[in-house]
């Protein structure tokens, strides 16, 4: 069969590469993809993710069995609804089901209604009321833009003044556009964060290995928030009990709730969780795979990925299996300056082969189609599997030392939390 993946980053590279490994899959197209993906035999298409009707025409004309939707903004724009209306299958939630991600207020309402543990909160569109709530609750406190804000709409405020300023930026000064027209203000939760992903259709689901992202730009969790600078899976110190508790108190009730709300969930549910003294609580839901978590989770999948997704789309039971070998760890290489302004056009090192995988995000061929150049904030990611976090780190970081990364940077401490550092 032939498949289509929508999106352009490292996440979509990992999804498409894994799908192509299936013996049943002859070709995987990625729209718009990036040139680095072609080194793995993937076909990239010059169609933007917002061009739903062009994507639909392509899928029809090329006999695409089904499409896998990567990014949140495509889901929020109703791409799955459009594919379905055209008689095409797509793996991802409908616009209404994806509201779990595109409105933090909606996610909170669902959690409260169906008893899912999360931080106490208030939602405001009026600045004076938001300010009064912040002053009443005190700091630390967390201010979040209601809508999608590319991961930048969350301010963890250490003082009341900072929180009021964040609310002012969002509600009065419109710094986050429409997504900040409402804010969710919530209790600060203290504890270790991790991500739990599941493949879902309705109330059936398949849990993936736990993962931990590194969102800050620099070592020691310093610097601005990014899309994610590296990750590893599974998180060794999370117990089975804690994972089971997360499934029972979070995954099951939210999926049941979505069915009760007439918004049955199909696709990947991404639970951003924090382990508090009262057990795991939800920081956020996302309606898609994480980036860079996908790149370190999917290499651990030992079952036929394309078969799994076909079965889940057809609502038939499927066998999803994972390796239990050690740990998979990946380090993102980004352009100097990311997540703010950065330069493009740096010549990239050769793609690694063997047991270190290179996934490309912002990469583009030069005019002659020979050298691969940087073309985005996050540029590529190296991923490996080893018996321990320490061994995986050694493999990746010694490879990175041999690469010319002038004009690029990466964190030197991905996974160190798992070593107690
Ligand atoms: P989000 O975009 O919702 O994932 O938030 C970004 C980051 O802000 C999270 O990864 C957490 O580190 C932090 N954060 C969000 N909500 C809270 C909370 N209620 N308490 C503590 N930290 C939070
Ligand atoms: N790694 C964070 C995200 O995908 O939102």
In short, whether 286's Cβ falls inside 6 Å of ligand 2 is yes
Which ligand has the nearest atom to the CA of 225? 1
Q: Write down all domains in the chain, each with its CATH number in brackets.
A: 2-92 (3.40.50.20), 126-181 (3.30.1490.20), 192-313 (3.30.470.20), 327-419 (3.90.600.10)
Residue carrying structure tokens 């995954």: 251
Model confidence over 89-125: pLDDT tens digits? Answer: 999 999 999 999 999 999 999 999 999 999 999 999 9
Ligand 1, atom 4, lies closest to the CA of 284
**d(Cα 404, Cα 379) in Å, to the nearest integer?**
14
Ligand 2, atom 5, lies closest to the CA of 290
Could you tell me the distance, in angstroms and rounded to a whole number, from the CA of residue 299 to the centre of ligand 1? 27
Which ligand has the nearest atom to the CA of 285? 1
Could you tell me the distance, in angstroms and rounded to a whole number, from the CA of residue 227 to the centre of ligand 2? 6
Model confidence over 20-40: pLDDT tens digits? Answer: 999 999 999 999 999 999 999
Could you list the mean pLDDT of each consecutive 10-residue stretch along the chain, which spans 421 residues? Answer: 98 98 98 98 98 98 98 97 98 98 96 97 95 96 89 89 95 86 94 96 97 96 94 94 98 98 98 97 97 98 98 97 97 96 96 95 95 97 97 98 98 92 62
Ligand 1, atom 9, lies closest to the CA of 283
Task: Mention every residue, 6+ apart, whose C-beta is less than 8 A from residue 8.
Answer: 30, 32, 33, 34, 49, 361
Could you tell me the distance, in angstroms and rounded to a whole number, from the CA of residue 291 to the centre of ligand 1? 16
**Model's pTM, two decimal places?**
0.96
What's the confidence (pLDDT) of residue 348? 98
Straight-line distance from the first to the last Cα atom of the chain, in angstroms, rounded to the nearest whole number: 46
What's the confidence (pLDDT) of residue 355? 95
In short, whether 101's Cβ falls inside 6 Å of ligand 2 is no
Could you tell me the distance, in angstroms and rounded to a whole number, from the CA of residue 189 to the centre of ligand 1? 8
Atom of ligand 2 nearest to the CA of 151: 5
Mutate to test the pocket of ligand 2, among 9, 102, 216, 227 (most ligand atoms within 8 A of CB): 227
What's the confidence (pLDDT) of residue 148? 86
Pairing of strands 192-201, 212-213: unpaired
Could you tell me the distance, in angstroms and rounded to a whole number, from the CA of residue 230 to the centre of ligand 1? 17
Could you tell me the distance, in angstroms and rounded to a whole number, from the CA of residue 283 to the centre of ligand 1? 6
């Amino acid at each position: 069969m032939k498949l289509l993946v929508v999106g352009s980053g490292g996440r979509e590279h990992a999804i498409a590469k894994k799908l192509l490994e299936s013996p049943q899959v002859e070709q995987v197209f990625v729209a718009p993809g990036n040139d680095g993906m072609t080194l793995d035999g993937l076909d990239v298409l010059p169609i933007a993710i917002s061009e739903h009707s062009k994507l639909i025409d392509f899928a029809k004309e090329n006999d695409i069995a089904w499409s896998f939707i990567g990014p949140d903004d495509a889901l929020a724009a109703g791409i799955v609804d459009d594919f379905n209306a055209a008689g095409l299958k797509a793996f991802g939630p409908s616009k209404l089901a994806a509201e779990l991600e595109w409105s933090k207020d909606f996610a909170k309402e669902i959690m409260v209604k169906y008893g899912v543990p999360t931080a106490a909160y208030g939602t405001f569109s009026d600045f004076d009321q938001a300010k009064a709530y912040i002053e009443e609750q005190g700091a630390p406190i967390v201010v979040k833009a209601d809508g999608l804000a590319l991961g930048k709409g969350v301010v963890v405020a250490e003082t009341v003044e900072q929180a009021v300023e964040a609310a002012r930026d969002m509600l009065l000064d419109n710094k986050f556009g429409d997504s900040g027209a409402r804010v969710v203000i919530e209790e600060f939760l203290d504890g270790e964060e991790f991500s739990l992903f599941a493949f879902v259709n309705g109330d059936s689901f398949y849990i993936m290995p736990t993962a931990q992202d590194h969102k800050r730009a620099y070592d020691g969790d310093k610097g601005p928030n990014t899309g994610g600078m590296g990750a590893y899976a599974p998180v060794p110190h999370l117990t089975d009990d804690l994972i089971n508790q997360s499934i029972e108190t979070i995954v099951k009730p939210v999926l049941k709730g979505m069915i009760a709300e007439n918004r049955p969930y199909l696709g990947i549910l991404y639970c951003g969780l924090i382990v508090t003294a009262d057990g795991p609580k939800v920081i956020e839901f996302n309606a898609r795979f994480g980036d860079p978590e996908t790149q370190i989770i999917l290499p651990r999948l030992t079952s036929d990925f394309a078969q799994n997704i076909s079965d889940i789309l057809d609502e038939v039971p499927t066998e999803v299996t994972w390796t239990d070998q050690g740990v998979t760890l990946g380090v993102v290489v980004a352009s100097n300056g990311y997540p703010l302004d950065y330069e493009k056009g740096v010549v990239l090192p050769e793609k690694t082969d063997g047991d270190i995988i290179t996934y490309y995000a912002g990469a583009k061929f030069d005019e002659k189609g020979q050298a691969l150049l940087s073309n985005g904030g996050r540029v590529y990611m190296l991923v490996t599997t080893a018996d321990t976090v320490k061994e995986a780190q050694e493999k990746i970081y010694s490879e990175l030392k041999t690469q010319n990364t002038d004009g690029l940077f990466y964190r030197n401490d991905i996974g160190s939390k798992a070593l107690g550092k």
